[in-house]
Each structure stands twice: as C-alpha cells, then as structure tokens.
A = this chain, B = another copy of it.
C-alpha cells in the first residue's frame, strides 16, 4: 500500500508557504501567476479527459501527458490525486453556481431548491466521471461554502426550527448527491459493463417464472420504461413536500 506519510503532513514548506498571505510581496506575484495558470490548465485538461474517457481514464499520467509534461511536475501543483479531484469538484460547483445565478429575495424556497436540484442534475449529466469520483467528498472550498449557504438559507426560509432545518437540508443534499452519483455510475461505466447492467433488467427479470416473482413480473413493462430523471424528480419532490408539511406542522403547533 502506498502509505502516505501523515507525519510529513506537517510539511516543512508550510512555513514559507503560509507567508504569501501578506499582500506586501508584490514582486512575488509573477511566480504565483505562472503556477496558477498551470493549475488552471491542468484542471481543464482533467475535465476534458474525464468527459471523453471516463473515470477510469482520468489518471495523473494521462493529465500530465495532455499537458506535455512529466507526471511528477503535476505533483508540484497538486499534492496528490485527491487534491486534484477535490479541485475538480470545486470547479463543478462553481459552474453550478454560475448557472444558478442570483437567488431573488422573493423566490419561494421550494423553487430555489428545485432550481438547485435541476442544476446539480445537469452538471452530473455533463461530467458523470467527476460526480462519481468526488461523490460524498467535502472540498471546503469557497464554491462549496457558497452552495451550502444557499441551501441552508433556503431551508431556513421554510420557517422550521434550526435542528429540523439541518435535518431536512442534509436529507435533501445527501439524497440529491446520492441519486446523481447513482445515475452517474450508470453513465460512466465502461460501455461493456454498462450494457451488461442495462440489459440485465430485460434479460433476467423479463424471464422470471410468474410463480416466484409475481409482483416483479406484473410490473416488468413499467420497470424497463422508467427514466432516471423521473426517479430523481420524484425523490426531490417527496423531500420538498416532507419539508413543507413539517414546516406547517411546526409552525402551527410548536416553538420557533
């Protein structure tokens, strides 16, 4: 196992690396800019690879090759692959925020959440590989923080008490991300495996003896016809309705 030397995480370079926070060093800028450009280039290259060759094709060597650079040079910019993945995730959230635009003050919180859910779904469709690779990870970056703020604010507008706000907020985001990841896995599998899974329904389940699996057999047509998006929408609406009902109940009955 390529064990990461956690002890070295208190990296000796961190002391000098922490310094650029002071804005006085104007002359230090050009270097930073160059490195930043490399970082951007690496990310866009990684995006293109992930889009075209799927999650399996997104390797450090492949990204470096796309930049006509040695692999190890990439490790000067990203400490490890995980950092690159989180940066990609951060970028996806940025694009989602851009597509989302501003949230009008008078927009109902349900509509805000519907728009967010739709936007996340679309970016999952665009970059399934990145969705599946960064599923359930936390970047801690500014874009993610902004997205969290939008979501928590929307749920807070429902009027629920704080503990219920975070409960429904987490149920919402975790479900949304889980469903997107589910769909993304299906969309980013090797074509061969993908076909295998896809046709499993019709191959296996269509030929079940009626005696053993009557319910499945009775719904086989609908099972093969249902779409991922309709499933997603159903789950999202269920969570919104549950939040609405909880808000109505708490608002009528209890404390603020």
Contacts and interface: CB of A to CB of B under 8 A. Distances in A.
A165 B216 CA distance: 11
Contact of A165 (B56, B136, B156, B222): B222
Interface in A1-59: 1, 4, 6, 56-57
Nearest to A150: B215
Given A170-B226, A181-B181, A204-B145, A215 B163 contact: no
Nearest to A6: B192
Given A6-B192, A226-B166, A197 B235 contact: no
Contacts of A235: 171, 174-175, 239
Nearest to A157: B215
Nearest to A237: B242
Contact of A205 (B6, B148, B203, B231): B148
A193 B1 contact: no
Interface of A, secondary structure class, is: helix
A100 interface: no
A135 interface: yes
A132 to B, nearest CB: 9
Contacts of A204: 140, 145
A153 B215 contact: yes
Interface in A148-187: 148-149, 152-153, 156, 162-163, 165-168, 170-171, 174-175, 177-179, 181-182, 185-186
10 A-B pairs with least C-beta separation: A178-B178, A238-B242, A153-B215, A136-B185, A166-B222, A171-B234, A140-B204, A171-B235, A152-B215, A140-B200
Interface of A: 1, 4, 6, 56-57, 82, 135-138, 140, 145-146, 148-149, 152-153, 156, 162-163, 165-168, 170-171, 174-175, 177-179, 181-182, 185-186, 190, 192-193, 197, 200-201, 203-205, 208, 212-216, 218-219, 221-223, 225-226, 230-231, 234-235, 237-239, 241-243, 245
